[in-house]
Amino acid sequence: MSAISEVFSRCRRERRAAFIPFLTAGDPDLATTGELLHALARGGADLIELGVPFSDPIADGPVIQRASTRALASGTKLSGVLELVARERDRLGVPIVLFTYYNPIHAHGAERFAEQAAASGVDGVLCVDLPPDEGGELVPVLRKKGLDVIFLLAPTSTRDRVKRVDETSSGFVYYVSRTGVTGERTELPKELLKEARRLRRRLSLPLAVGFGISTPQQVEAVAKVADGVVVGSALVHLVEEKAGDDDLAAAVERRVRELTAPLK
């Protein structure tokens, strides 16, 4: 059983959903990201999604786009992100999923990426713009190195796509709560809870829901129908607001404690 699967098994025994925060690596710089990873873990993260900055993040809204721009401006590259994970993963005690686009992996080389990601302590990879039917080059080399491969489903996914994603993914399946891009929202989509409950019954893997979840109340609502809850833009926005402040890590930890409170 992978470290990611163990997280969901433990949370299932505890009768709660896993909390999965997201941050962009290198925002505002890699050293600070290292501190923030530990703040997430102290605050109650069960699993961490670490975004690899990319110049054309088509699935991300303005908040994460700006974070990618700042990270790239600070000199963050895929190799540096892997080095960061290698330094911090064992002390974290929390599995890490790299949230990336395919271009950085392709430029790095799929086999080289898989080898270095596994050696650094990465537990899983979610390649946002790579559908399962086009993952023929990447999926086998990741699996060979013991890495979980996570794919996305959306409200527009067909029955065939749901089946294909369930068969191809490992660790968990990520359900995008709305069409469009990431970003904080004041309300959850009207059909989200119904759709997530229906989808969960059709999957053999745990279901994590993300995109637009930003408050403790929304976390609580989604946790009733999903195995994991992902919060990204709300935390990235906080980093943007407090970058350079001495209490940035403490502020992130406090926010994660607030978001995870309904799951306790």
Q: In CATH, what number is assigned to the domain containing residue 136?
A: 3.20.20.70
Task: Tell me what the mean pLDDT of segment 116-133 comes to.
Answer: 95
Q: What is the pLDDT of residues 139-166, one digit of tens each?
A: 999 999 999 999 999 888 999 999 999 9
Domain count, the chain: 1
Which domain covers residue 255, as residue numbers? Answer: 3-263
Spatial distance between the Cα atoms of 47 and 20, rounded to a whole number of angstroms: 5
pLDDT attached to residue 181: 46
- Is 70 exceeded by the pLDDT of residue 182? no
Helices 78-92 and 30-43, packing angle to 10 deg:
30
- Catalytic residue list contains 129: no
Helix (H, G, I), strand (E, B) or coil at 21: strand
| Closest by CA position to 140, among listed 150, 130, 149 | 149
| Closest by CA position to 52, among listed 111, 110, 101, 107 | 101
Given 27, 49, 88, 123, which residue is catalytic? 49
pLDDT band at residue 189, thresholds of 50, 70 and 90?
low
Q: What is the pLDDT of residues 56-79, one digit of tens each?
A: 877 677 899 999 999 999 999 999
- Catalytic residue list contains 187: no
